[in-house]
Structure 1
Amino acid sequence: MKKIIDKKVTQLKMKYHTKNPFELCENLGIEILYENLGKNINGFYQAAPRNKVIHININLDEYSRYFTCSHELGHALFHSKLNILFLEKNTHIIKNKYENEANYFSANLYLSDENLYSDKFSGMTIEQIAAQLHIPIELLKLKLK
């Protein structure tokens, strides 16, 4: 699946000349709604006939909104037919597989190899690089795997 995700990221960047998930959503016809989703939910993707919607918690900071949007865009592109809540409650399929794929998409959308392996990060720890890039450390680790 990683190769499929890598290929899709490359295609999106080339076609739309951006890695910004908000701009990609606009180009792909995916609506973004900002809502108060409480303290435990950053966002979620919802598919309905002819409507694709990403819900983002309005209480998140700018960077968290960005990565929530890119994560949910991953679901929109690769898991649009899945009902994760149904799977979680009614089957033994582990939703972590889908969450990891969405995280991998998000990491690859944001982080290019050229930028990541530049000299400006030489001698820095993973934690320092993640802080410098304003990204969750989990995403950086996914990209480096």
Structure 2
Amino acid sequence: MDEIIHKLVRRFKTNDPFVIAKGLNIIIRHAEFNEGTRGFYYRRLRRRFIVIDNGLSEEWQRVVCAHELGHDRLHSGLSQFWIDEHTFFNTGKYERQANLFAVKLLTHSTEQELGETEEAYLLRCGVPKQLHNLKM
């Protein structure tokens, strides 16, 4: 996973998931979803799509884009919905991997400052508190 992220950042000279997705010819769409769904990734006729809930903050849209980009890079061929843990769906291994991919991508180009707590560092990188429990 780390090597995949490193190559993406080096190739596109950014860790911005929207720029990377565009560079990979992944089409980004926005739609209104029911509570609990923030976005999803799917393939159709050899085209790849990331659909993001348009009611989310910019920070969360960035996180969801990074998460769905993780599905594209790590789980090609699968269309995974990102469902909040408060639903009856099992988030499972693929969701945890995509979450970790998102956190690693968003923190890739930013170093933790001396004396900075991990929580402050992750918040500075745009990682919401809900994802701070992931083991990096």
Report the TM range for the smaller structure's normalisation: 0.7 to 0.9
Which residue type is aligned with residue 49 of structure 1? L
Corresponding residue for residue 34 of structure 1:
30
TM-superposition CA deviations, 1:72-123 (whole Å, max 9, x none): 00001111212447xxxxxxxx75110111011111111138512x22xx16
Larger radius of gyration between Structure 1 and Structure 2: 1
* Structure with a larger share of its residues in helix: 1
The two structures have a TM-score, normalised by structure 2, of: 0.82
Matches within 5 A, 1:47-86: 47-84=43-80
Give the strand-richer structure, 1 or 2: 2
Post-superposition Cα deviations, 1:16-47, rounded to whole Å, max 9, x if no partner, equal 10100000010000000000012211000011
Distance 2:40 2:73 in 1: 13
Please tell me the root mean square deviation across aligned C-alpha atoms, in Å.
Answer: 2.2
Counterpart of 1:135 in structure 2 is 127
Q: Percent identity over the alignment?
A: 28
Paired residues in the alignment total 128
Please tell me whether the aligned partners of residues 45 and 54 of structure 1 are also in contact (alpha carbons under 8 angstroms). yes
Q: Looking at both structures, which has the greater relative contact order when contacts are Cα pairs under 8 Å and sequence separation is at least 6?
A: 2
Gaps of 5+ in 1: 86-93
